[in-house]
A = this chain, B = another copy of it.
Amino acid sequence: MKLTILGCYSATPRAFTNPTSQVLDIKNHLFLIDCGEGTQVQLRKHKIKFARIKQVFISHLHGDHFFGLPGLISTFVLLGREAPLHIYGPKGIKEGITLLLKLGNSWTNFPLVFHELSSASSELIYEDDKVEVHTIPLEHRVYTNGYLFREKPGERKLKIEEVLKYDIDRCYYRNIKNGRDVQLDNGEWIPNEKLTADPPKPKSYAFCSDTVYKPDIIPQIEKADVLYHESTFLEEHKDLATKTKHSTAKQAAEIALQAKVGTLVLGHYSIRYGDLEAFRREAQTVFPEVELADDGKVFEF
């Protein structure tokens, strides 16, 4: 599971900081999460292949999470994309994007499939044989969702020396990996646990931005391997966090602690603070495993 931070600063793009966008590489899928202005340039800088992006998840329709999407779609058009692009985001995103394309008399030569969200409860919005994606309803100044990306349990691992010992035909391997017992030619049953080991534990990633401190997301993100949680402010500006419906680094750490996640990644920093380490220090008073997102940073979990 590889997470590339394209941008992780709040509010406005600046000369050397970018608004929210990240790419999650999980089970050979490349999910784009949020798409602030300049995302396509960041994708190019980090040599991420545009064609590998098939799904885009937009948390909410504030510009710093969304204004890069019309340009990215236009670029897909210019690049001659043919594969469908699936866009998940709040109700209204379809109207916004299609109006901008229409104004430029531009149409996509690939299917642009909108999945508009409006539920206040968590929903399973994407699923294939390897991964599922659920919304995490957040609370911000506009309708907002985080997203939980969860690997499905993989096949059990063959203990190949055991399988060879019993001289089991290859055609049974698939069934064995799926947990079945095997009957030998002599009628003897070999239980599956003799032939296989547990698959690697499925990984999960929870993206939570933007949101006020919202403990009721905890059951949903419990034991996630990685939680990205916004920390726009430090505790000294807790009043501002409450007012603007953002979180502090300490609040993000409290969520991480209660949800027993593996690693907390902080981001969506207000640019009023010179030193990002202050976010880490504050969070670590509550929860030890803290990483700081930064533009261009790549995490492998």
- Taking Cβ atoms with an 8 Å cutoff, the residues of A that contact B are 11-15, 37-38, 40-41, 44-45, 60-64, 66-68, 70-71, 74-75, 78, 90, 92-93, 95-96, 99-100, 103-106, 141-142
Measured between alpha carbons, how far is A141 from B103 in the docked complex, in Å? Answer: 11
The answer on a CB contact under 8 Å between A100 and B104 is no
Known: A12-B40, A92-B103. 7 other contacts (CB 8 A): A12-B75, A13-B40, A15-B45, A37-B40, A66-B104, A90-B103, A99-B99
Across the interface, A41 reaches (CB within 8 A) one of B14, B44, B62, B92, namely B14
Measured between alpha carbons, how far is A66 from B101 in the docked complex, in Å? Answer: 11
14 contacts between A and B (CB under 8 A): A13-B38, A15-B41, A38-B41, A62-B106, A63-B71, A63-B100, A63-B104, A64-B74, A67-B74, A90-B103, A92-B103, A100-B100, A104-B142, A105-B141
The answer on a CB contact under 8 Å between A41 and B66 is no
Separation in Å of the A300 CB from the closest CB of chain B?
24
Measured between alpha carbons, how far is A129 from B142 in the docked complex, in Å? Answer: 44
The answer on a CB contact under 8 Å between A13 and B71 is yes
Query: Which residues does chain B contribute within 8 Å of A60, judged by CB atoms?
Result: 104
Query: Which residues does chain B contribute within 8 Å of A44, judged by CB atoms?
Result: 14-15
